[in-house]
Chains A and B, each alone.
Chain A
Amino acid sequence: MTDGIRPLTVSAPVLRMRGITKRFPGVLANDRIDLDLYRGEVLALLGENGAGKSTLMNVLAGLYRPDAGTILLGETHVEIDSPRDAAELGIGMVHQNFMLVPTMTVAQNIVLGMPDLPIVPDLEEIHRQIEALSNRYGLLVDPQAYIWQLSVGEQQRVEILKLLYRGADILILDEPTAVLTPQEIEELGHVLAAVQAEGKSIIFITHKMGEVIAFSDRVCVLRQGRVVATKRTAETNPRELARLMVGREVLFQIEKAPADPGETLLVLRHVCADNDKGLPALRQLSLVVRRGEILGIAGVAGNGQRELAEVITGLRDIKTGEILINGRDRTSSSPLQMIESGVGHIPADRMGMGTVGNMAVADNLAMKSYRSPPLAEYGILRREKILRFARSLIEAFGISTPTPQTPVKFLSGGNIQKTILAREIDACASLLVAVYPSRGLDVGATEAVRRRLLEQRDAGRAVLLISEDLDELLTVADRIAVLYEGRVMGIVPTASADVETVGLLMSGSEAAELDGVTSAPSTVGAF
């Protein structure tokens, strides 16, 4: 053990990982990692995105082969060559992206691949066993339901049941709370306590300090593939953990100069648009964004946020109404026309819409400016210019990538987001539409993203920030417009906004009943 910190129970660890090293092309994901796990404890594995947490646990779960290092279970050396080996040793993992077959039932997923399953499994019996387990741990789920019918929270319960059904003694949960609502996170806490009470050990991966404090007995902090500290949770605090994780002091509060809005840049007037199912998503929506300000869009997911971003970026046709950018009519423009009028877009779906995973970072960076000189001349791409261009952006935005030619899918989530930011900010002349830009990012990357948005504002550009994180809107935005069923319920200046007012608007209360809130139409009328 590197620093000799042990839990309250003095006993030998059930699991010891020693000197685990794992290399991927161009990345040292795990660098001589030592880790101990004791019986009946919850060990938090804390680290930023890309720190190597999932990799280390995939090694333990038998999915990845380490390049070096040993694993001891109790006092015996073990070779874990496959997930099957891990299961036989009582080690099970709930992966960050769930491993479930959507077209199969809960019960089928739970028993899949079990070596001692009879050739013709008795499903009735299995259903009964699963129900008994669900009741014991409070993991309620119908064993006969198909996975595709379940919510994400329910799917996670199935994943945990899978481990318990196999009698795992060491449970690894990879960022289990990322997909849960606050209520579900609380329930998960109860489940963990029940599991722990039976003497099983849990490794809980997270990048949120609050969860470390709430759930764990000990915490092991990883940074850039190395263990930087192992602490007893009771003896540390969020601030210290954040510093260890990021490697420097983290400012929880971004200081921000007051906005200095200039001329009007984007105007939406009475815009109506349908969603993919052909139902109205935006109803008579009107908005104004000025240069030098960040307009935040708040609202419960599914109230027209996505459609709003798509309408402004030319990805969705509007049925009625008009869109003006820089005073020019841009109603029913194509995405290319929107790009040409200076609209940058940071889409919600980073991998699907934001980047082409198999293409190099350099090509992804050039994806908006490749059409014209200097990156292309007479329709021919200038490779060396693209590379030079990419290098300068990688440098300026601190994108951590082995080389500019690395396929972008090999980067961590934060670095993929930085790649998109770099491209859009570079190409965007006037308006930046950012949709959930910090979703799923760790503290460091979130801070970087928010700073960039403010930078854009201060450079005199207009920013439309769609977010589901009220704290983010309150720290970054200058005004917050609240969407409800495709309408702007009201616009609140951040300076005078409080969570309660915005929350009321989000639930559909009329702006007129609330103090200090402008209702949307009058804003447009003033214009």
Chain B
Amino acid sequence: MTGLVALLTSILTITLRAGTSLIFGTVGEIYTERSGILNLGIEGMMLASAVTGFGVGYYSDSALLGLVVAACMGGLLAAVHAFLTVTMRANQVVSGLSITLFGTGLASFLGERLGPATNNHSLVGLIGPRFSPLVVPGLSQIPVLGALFRQDPLTYALYVLVPLAWYYLYRTRFGLNLRAVGESPLTADAMGVDVIRIRYLYTILGGMLVGVGGAHLSLAYAPGWTENLTGGRGWIVIALVIFAMWNPLRAVLGAILFGGINAVQFRLQAGGTTIASAYLNMLPYLITILVLVAMTWWEALSHRVGAPAALGVPYIREDK
């Protein structure tokens, strides 16, 4: 019995840890998409933030500074996306994919150039500062749910951030403006809401959260830098946004599902199962696809409100 509790506790602990970067990314992308901007650059932004976050952390020996720089990196790339899509009215899919290509390339480049000469200028294999788990005395002893209190500070931050993100979106005047811009920019504009400013603001803010997600990978979840550190998490985020129906609270559900499968797979591998690891590694992605298909199906059947109506559509005031 205690064995089972211990197993569940450990699975939940890993689940939350694996899910943290996804939640940051998903909440960020939800905010971006709520303003009507689709940013497919998440994967590249996460990688670029992860590598700069780790690099800065390594040299300054401050994980916090690394985190801040990573957030700025995410914000910077998102600002490029905002400029291209909002001001230049470029196709959002094309712009987003370019950001991913650019970010991915930039990350491997920096990873091989930013390191110390002693390590062949590579960042790979170095050990830097990290956000370590802080075990809360007492609370962490609760069976299974104690896992909630054996996390690193970034995960703890989510306990506040996620409800706040929800409250802001659905209960404040700013959230009202944001949602209106994503649903019907012309209406928002006619009602005196500054569509352009809002699209810039939330695209950049979303990018910064994605950057924090990237930093969580290189400074907490799997401290250090390796090529393709994200393992496609940027794409998972885009799927999770749909799963979450653009609602920050539901983002947690999705992230936990994905993180949970990760954790179970991890456990299975550690337990020496006979299933080939290639299949196990496939599992989280496969389930993501299945969940998406099921969700879309269910939504079509129940006629639920889905994506922001103006998602992906550039806004021009005097356009007809």
Q: Is B305 an interface residue (CB 8 A)?
A: yes
Contacts A63-B189, A100-B187 given; does A113 touch B174 at CB 8 Å: no
Contacts A104-B180, A121-B173 given; does A409 touch B192 at CB 8 Å: no
Q: Is A112 an interface residue (CB 8 A)?
A: yes
Contacts A63-B190, A83-B190 given; does A101 touch B173 at CB 8 Å: no
Cα A113 to Cα B172 in complex, Å, equals 12
Contact between A64 and B318, CB atoms less than 8 A apart:
yes
**Interface residue ranges of A121-150 to B (CB < 8 Å):** 121
Q: Is A103 an interface residue (CB 8 A)?
A: yes
For the complex formed, measure the closest distance between the CB of A419 and the CB atoms of chain B, giving whole angstroms.
16
Which residues of chain A come closer than 8 Å to B172, judged between CB atoms?
119-121
Q: Which residue of the partner chain, among A61, A87, A95, A117, contacts B173 with CB atoms under 8 Å?
A: A117
Q: Is A84 an interface residue (CB 8 A)?
A: yes
For the complex formed, measure the closest distance between the CB of B300 and the CB atoms of chain A, giving whole angstroms.
15
Q: Which residue of the partner chain, among A24, A61, A113, contacts B177 with CB atoms under 8 Å?
A: A113
Cα A396 to Cα B187 in complex, Å, equals 39
Which residues of chain A come closer than 8 Å to B184, judged between CB atoms?
99-102
Contact between A99 and B186, CB atoms less than 8 A apart:
yes
Q: Is B233 an interface residue (CB 8 A)?
A: no
Which residues of chain A come closer than 8 Å to B318, judged between CB atoms?
24, 63-65
Contact between B188 and A102, CB atoms less than 8 A apart:
no
Which residues of chain B come closer than 8 Å to A118, judged between CB atoms?
173
Q: Is A215 an interface residue (CB 8 A)?
A: no
Smallest Cβ-Cβ distance to A65: which chain B residue: B318
Cα A501 to Cα B128 in complex, Å, equals 89
Q: Give 17 new A-B contacts, CB below 8 A, not counting A64-B318, A99-B186, A114-B192.
A: A63-B189, A63-B190, A83-B189, A99-B184, A99-B191, A100-B184, A102-B184, A103-B179, A103-B183, A104-B183, A109-B187, A111-B176, A112-B180, A112-B193, A113-B180, A115-B192, A162-B191
Which residues of chain B come closer than 8 Å to A162, judged between CB atoms?
191
Number of interface residues of B (CB under 8 A): 23
Q: Is A475 an interface residue (CB 8 A)?
A: no
Contacts A101-B179, A101-B180, A121-B173 given; does A112 touch B309 at CB 8 Å: no
Cα A84 to Cα B193 in complex, Å, equals 8
Contact between B192 and A101, CB atoms less than 8 A apart:
no
Contacts A63-B317, A120-B171, A121-B173 given; does A104 touch B179 at CB 8 Å: yes
Which residues of chain A come closer than 8 Å to B191, judged between CB atoms?
83, 99, 112-114, 162
Cα A410 to Cα B179 in complex, Å, equals 29
Cα A115 to Cα B191 in complex, Å, equals 10
Contact between A120 and B173, CB atoms less than 8 A apart:
yes
For the complex formed, measure the closest distance between the CB of A517 and the CB atoms of chain B, giving whole angstroms.
42
Write the A81-106 contact mask toward B (1 if CB under 8 angstroms, else 0).
Answer: 01110010000010100011111100
Which residues of chain A come closer than 8 Å to B177, judged between CB atoms?
112-113
18 CB contacts below 8 A, A to B, read A61-B190, A63-B189, A64-B318, A83-B189, A83-B191, A84-B192, A95-B190, A102-B184, A103-B309, A104-B183, A112-B188, A113-B177, A113-B188, A113-B191, A114-B192, A119-B172, A121-B176, A162-B191
Which residues of chain B come closer than 8 Å to A109, judged between CB atoms?
187
For the complex formed, measure the closest distance between the CB of A127 and the CB atoms of chain B, giving whole angstroms.
15
**Interface residue ranges of B235-281 to A (CB < 8 Å):** none
Smallest Cβ-Cβ distance to A95: which chain B residue: B190
